[in-house]
Each structure stands twice: as structure tokens, then as C-alpha cells.
Structure 1
Amino acid sequence: MTTRALLVTSSILGENGQSNALANHFKAQADSRSSVAVTHRDVVANALPHLAIEELGAWQTPAEERSSEQKALAAYSDELLVELREHDVLVLAVPMYNLGIPSQLKAWFDRVLRAGETFLYTENGPQGLIEGKRAIILAARGGLYAGSEFDSQMPHLKSMLGLMGIRDVEVVFAEGLNMGDSQRDSAINEAFQAIDQLIEAL
């Protein structure tokens, strides 16, 4: 049985991005196994516009009543939702920019976090509709933030995933990447080893 992994990258630094180095390692290791198939979506190379009221209005209009402009706007989200549902594992390669996630990745989340599609509002709070999936976060940071008060990024990511119903989340950290060559090399090598172990379990 093949495990289908959706790999979402979001570094503005291209091949110089450390989160992309983690993503490339994940993809290379996965591609060497017939049991894992990877689909790669780069939300920087294929950037989405910031969410606007016109697109929100397109979602809220019944499909058969949408204008041609609304159909084009709704297609952004509809395509991403189909892609998300078709995969078993969501892999997010995430750099830390000013303690948060890249705006390009937020634009992706804004399209897949849709009431009535990936979650419902109920009298007991939101209920996730994406079931049976797991997520892997490959987190690259210039400093040491994991577990500190400055790491607002990881709670944000886990909350957005949890809203959809994805609560099985593994995190691989590569931290201190701007704190000298020795620290960077050690952190990247440890992250590669952790990725290898995760691939073994897929």
C-alpha cells in the first residue's frame, strides 16, 4: 500500500533555504521507497494572493450560481482542498520569519481552512472534518526557540491543523542555524536523521 504525502514548502530563499533543505531530504528519502509517493507544492513559486472578500463571497455562493469571476476565485481553494484530501500525510517545511510562518503559507491555510469543508461550527465548538490524516512539520529556525515563549509559530500551526481535525502531528526541529557553522551542521544532521526515522514509519 502506498502512502501519499503532500509536501508543502514555503521558503522565500529557494535552494538556499534551510527548510527547503529539510524538504529536499524528505523527498529524496521518500522517492527512494516505492511505498511512499510525494506531491510537492511550493507556495512561494506558486504563490496565492492574500484572501479578499471577493473570494470569500465566491465560496459562500452556491456553485451553480457563481459568476465566471467567482468560479475562478473559488478554484484556488477547491483545487487545494482536493489535493489535501487525496493525501494521507501532510508535510509542512516551514521557516520562521519574525516568530511566525511565511505569509505565503498563511495564504495556503486560508484556502484549506473553510467552514463546511474542513471544519464545522457546532454548539460545542469547531469540529474538524479531515479525519485519518497525520502531519509532519519540518521547522527550520535561525535561533533556539522550541519550547520558549517566543515560539508562537508552533502553537499556531498545530491549532490550524487541529481545527481541520489533524491532531497526529510530528515535529522535526532544526534550530540555531544562524549561530555558527558547527551548530548549523549539527542541527541539520540531527534533523536529517529524524526525517529518516519518520520515513521508515510511513
Structure 2
Amino acid sequence: MATLLHIDASARAGRSGIDRHGSHTRRLSARFVDRWRLVRPDDTVLYRDVGRSPPRPVTEDWITAAFTPPDRRQPWMHEALAESDELVAEVTAADILVIGAPMYNFGMPAPLKAWIDNIVRVGVTFGFDRRREGVPYWPMLAPGKRLVILGSRGDHGYDPGGRIAHLNLVETGLSVPFAYIGLTRVDAIATEYDEFADERLAASLNAAETAIDRLADRIGVDG
């Protein structure tokens, strides 16, 4: 059996197609998880909604605590890192991470960035030794994990090779820090044309859902 960690990051509470002004990424991430359950009904699914319950952003106290060796941390330092410890434990336990990541002003929502900042931690998810020859950093997550990014964009042409692909900072903003801590197997699917709200959006949603079903089936069977 495997463990799937499902993350939603949209500021919208509902799902498009069900709720008025609902979130496309919540719709897509739920679609993936529902399909996954069909393929692998015995797997564990963890859920965290950072869009509705944002993690605390990194503070000076957090930094001080994170860079203090564990055996020298004072009680307030453990408290400062308690939420981060919980978030890291979820990622560590997961074999596959499914993230609903809408595009806000070309990048990810602030709560999702706060979540990333809480799980990329020296000595916990990545190692650092300035005396190490070559690159002084190395990933610490167990190998073999997968990342699935499910996005939504107002405009169109953000996919690789598209007319404004260079403006898409969502997939890069997620895949780069995750690769840094050891998660390099990444798939990304997104819907576009949200601002147009016409048949192009409907077609894009349909294509994304079809791709999600195929991806869930393939990963669920092949791993």
C-alpha cells in the first residue's frame, strides 16, 4: 500500500462544476484522488487545505530554531518549529503528492509558498556541509516519491512551448524546491482560459480531466 498526500491551495472553498465560483484546482485534485481510490482503494490518503488554513510563514524565530542543532534547542524553538515538523512528517510519509496549485499573478498562492518554506529544512529534508567537496547540498527525502501538480490559469499558452510559457512560475516554483529535497518525478496538468469563461474553458477542463484519469491509472498501476 502507498500513501497519497493531497494538498489544496485555492482561496476558493468550492469546486467548479459543483459550486458557484468554485475552484478549478480543487475540482482537478479531487478528480485525481477519486480516480486513485478506484485504482488503489487500500491506499492511505492524507489531506491538507493550505488555501483555507494557511501555514504560518517563516519568521526570524523559525530561522533561528531551524538552524540550531536539535540537541541545543530551547523549548520556544521546538514550539516555533512544531507546525513545520507536522508538515514535514506528512511529506515524509507520502509516496505521492498531489497539489492543486492555481496561478495567482504568474506564481503560486502565498499559502502554498509558506507550506514549501516550512518543509524545505536544513538537516531534515536537505543536508548541507560547507566542507563537502563539490555541491555542499544534498536531498534527504526517500527516493521514489512522485509529485503531481494540477493547475488552473486565467490566460492560455503557459505550457512548455506555449506563447507565454516563460511567465509560468507555478510548476517551476514547485518542482525546483522539491527536486532540491529529493523529489524529481513530476507530472503537471492544468486547465486554461478561466478568464474567458467560454467553450474554450469547458474544452480545457474536459481535456485536463481526461489527462488526470489517464495519469492516475498509469501511476496507480505502474508506480
Q: What TM-score, normalized to structure 1?
A: 0.92
What secondary structure is seen at the aligned counterpart in 1 of 2:138?
Answer: strand
Q: Is the 8 A contact 2:101 2:170 kept in 1?
A: no
What secondary structure is seen at the aligned counterpart in 2 of 1:161?
Answer: helix
1:176 and 1:79 map into 2 onto residues whose CA distance is 36
Match of residue 153 from structure 2: 141
Match of residue 187 from structure 1: 204
Q: 1:198 to 1:36 in 2, by over 3 A?
A: farther
Match of residue 119 from structure 1: 126
Q: Is the 8 A contact 1:177 1:187 kept in 2?
A: no
Shift of 1:82: 1.1
Match of residue 87 from structure 1: 94
- Matching of residue 19 in structure 1 with residue 25 in structure 2: yes
Shift of 1:177: 2.0
Aligned residues: 201
Segments of structure 1 that go 5 or more residues without pairing to the other structure are none
**Within-5 A mapping of 1:1-80:** 2-15=1-14, 16-32=22-38, 33-80=40-87
Moved more, 174-183 or 60-69: 60-69
2:34 and 2:170 map into 1 onto residues whose CA distance is 26
Shift of 1:176: 1.6
- Equivalent residue for 1:128, pick from 139, 154, 169: 139
- Matching of residue 158 in structure 1 with residue 175 in structure 2: yes
Moved more, 63-72 or 90-99: 63-72
2:216 and 2:77 map into 1 onto residues whose CA distance is 40
Shift of 1:193: 1.0
Q: Is the 8 A contact 1:142 1:179 kept in 2?
A: yes
What secondary structure is seen at the aligned counterpart in 2 of 1:149?
Answer: helix
Identity of aligned pairs, percent? 28
What secondary structure is seen at the aligned counterpart in 1 of 2:89?
Answer: helix
Root mean square deviation of aligned Cα: 1.6
After superposition, give the CA deviation of every residue in 1:114-167 in whole Å (9 maximum; x if it has no partner).
121111235432321212211111011111122322112222221111101111
What secondary structure is seen at the aligned counterpart in 2 of 1:14?
Answer: coil
Segments of structure 2 that go 5 or more residues without pairing to the other structure are 15-21
Q: Is the 8 A contact 2:66 2:122 kept in 1?
A: no
Q: Is the 8 A contact 2:11 2:51 kept in 1?
A: yes
Shift of 1:89: 0.4
